[in-house]
Amino acid sequence: MISDRDIAGKIKCILTDVDGVLSDGKLYYDSTGAETKTFHVRDGYGIKAWMNAGLHFGIITARHSDALTRRAKELGIEHVVQSSSDKWQSATEMMTSMNVTADEVCYIGDDVPDITVMRRVALAAAPDDASIDAREAAHWITRLPGGAGAVRELIERLMRAGNSWPSVSKDPPC
């Protein structure tokens, strides 16, 4: 069995889906018909810690959301593809722009459209409440569900295995 430390040592980039991973997967519409989403602050902390360690982070989603645009900007995430009709193509283009290979990438997804990427990267992860197919494609399944800190859990596991999780004695990355 390969240890977390062995896996963590080669991961330089995390790519993620949004609905069902960074959010709870539910679609919310306000009284004007505008879509809203909720994001967990712990995911944000983890993403900032990951990027502050000099590692790459990207988002690929089949939907478009102004809420996601805002959250990505707040966190300083530069690599975001919305309205992706082919997640593997989007992932390939993103990896090229980040100068990483699939052997250095972790992807976290929760449903069938994510599996094409999950099957081609070094580490595939899924939230606890992911679809059966996504969980079967995953190497790691988080204890937490999507939208409830699953991305933070993944990041913290990778960074702790690589001894790069921020010390509580240091200032936080956010």
Q: What is the pLDDT of residues 124-167, one digit of tens each?
A: 999 999 999 999 999 999 999 999 999 999 999 999 998 889 88
User: pTM (2 decimals)?
Assistant: 0.92
Whether 44 is covered by a domain: the verdict is yes
Domain that holds residue 20: 4-161
Whether 65 is covered by a domain: the verdict is yes
| DSSP H or E stretch at residue 118 | helix 112-118
Q: How many domains does the chain have?
A: 1
Whether 130 is covered by a domain: the verdict is yes
Which residues, in sequence order, are CB contacts of 7 under 8 Å at separation 6+?
122, 123, 139, 158, 161
19 in a known ligand binding site: yes
Distance CA 65, CA 28 (A): 11
- Tell how strand 123-126 and strand 56-60 pair up: unpaired
Contact 19, 129 (CB under 8 A): no
pLDDT attached to residue 173: 59
Q: What is the pLDDT of residues 82-104, one digit of tens each?
A: 999 999 999 999 999 999 999 99
pLDDT attached to residue 9: 85
Whether 90 is covered by a domain: the verdict is yes
pLDDT attached to residue 78: 96
Whether 171 is covered by a domain: the verdict is no
| Residue that is written with structure tokens 């193509």 in the block | 89
24 in a known ligand binding site: no
17 in a known ligand binding site: yes
Q: For the domain that residue 91 is a member of, what is the CATH number?
A: 3.40.50.1000
Cα separation values, 155 from 35, 137, 160, Å: 28, 19, 8
Whether 169 is covered by a domain: the verdict is no
